[in-house]
Structure 1
């Protein structure tokens, strides 16, 4: 039985007069005439107490021990030095990773390049790295008056994207990274649905602004895009005695 054209038109107009607000799961009019038609109260926004460490943060290193870390190579106990509230690379001990794995997050981490002789240059000076999900590196380097390739200096997405500016503190001083990271999503057949993105704030200055990560940050060759889930935060042993402190993360 065919629907009367007038009834069909009425039904169409009625459906068109409303839309579903995905956040609050309720219908509102397309052209509201009252202010409360676009005011949403539920669910209430979660409260987080701000401070040096936000109330919902996971502390990954509090300056006392490496209980939250392990060898990236074999999962054994992390063998870096802990002294005076900081952890420091032990040359040859290898990279270390968090025992816990993460997807999207806000990461706070402070790092310091060691006092090294002027004979060390470029990538040989204060070199380390912070790897999101164990495979995407934000470079750590003594880039204070130390010229190197643009996409390999401090604040770069290693071998991919140079930082907007060089905000590195002088040798021996502490640097601060605040990293906002969105993990990649993959399709069921192994393709990239959405790539990874990262924002890096270095000593209070934005040096990566929602930067697309092309894939793994390879030393040689093009980026790779293996399918993966959550991954650890990894810190690199590149042979320089770089120190880290005040490491916390907020999952998003």
Structure 2
């Protein structure tokens, strides 16, 4: 009886999760359920503390078990001083790819002011990484403080939002997008081949990074 109840609850949870137009938690604030480490079946290194999902670096990217196509993803993030990370979407987790960013666009997360290397505007917070800069570089909060991010994808129209303001907008797979790809480091990667859906990854770039209140609404 207990086993049947557990299976019934799991089925109900799965059905709720699949309902389009309903906002659900992608991170429940307590566990890493629904996620796994890149090219692994379990989560390694990433942990939860006081409602925060974090990595201290060197643990590999954290990837959703599920793929998504059109959605609104909201999240809070906090980069460590001098740190680098990102949220990557349309990720294809295939054996031949060594990293999640090789197949999907990235919402960049970084310490804009104190990162030890020289970075371009297309590599600063909320940018469409190495493709488009955020149109307002003044609204990001300092490393160590919480920022609010949003990624919206509907019919290949993509938007990046930062702290309540739309800062990036593009048409995924369009002629303009393909032109940007051709000028980027992604030109010869799987990234350059538009695809409808993929997983979402939280990047472990070797630095401490924290996330909380990760929610998604499939559109």
Please give the TM-score of this superposition, normalised by the length of structure 1.
0.63
Task: Give the length in aligned residue pairs.
Answer: 176
Candidates 124, 129, 132, aligned match of 1:153: 124
Query: Is 1:86–2:52 an aligned residue pair?
Result: yes
Match of 1:137? Answer: 106
Cα distance in 2 for residues equivalent to 1:217 and 1:248: 32
Query: Is 1:71–2:22 an aligned residue pair?
Result: no
The answer to whether the 8 Å contact 2:159/2:168 transfers is: yes
Match of 1:232? Answer: 199
Pairing of 1:1-252 with structure 2 (within 5 A): 56-114=22-80, 116=81, 125-134=82-91, 135-144=104-113, 148-166=119-137, 167-182=139-154, 196-209=156-169, 211-213=170-172, 214=177, 220-222=185-187, 224-226=191-193, 228-252=195-219
The answer to whether the 8 Å contact 2:32/2:47 transfers is: no
Structure 2: runs of 5+ lacking an equivalent: 1-20, 92-103
Structure 1: runs of 5+ lacking an equivalent: 1-54, 117-124, 184-195
Cα distance in 2 for residues equivalent to 1:156 and 1:127: 13
Structure possessing the higher relative contact order (Cα contacts under 8 Å, 6 or more residues apart): 2
The answer to whether the 8 Å contact 1:179/1:201 transfers is: yes
CA deviations over 1:194-227 (Å, ceiling 9, x no partner): xx33111100122113x23436799834264336
Cα distance in 2 for residues equivalent to 1:76 and 1:110: 24
* Structure with max Cα Rg: 1
- 1:93 Cα offset (Å): 1.1
CA RMSD of aligned residues (A): 2.5
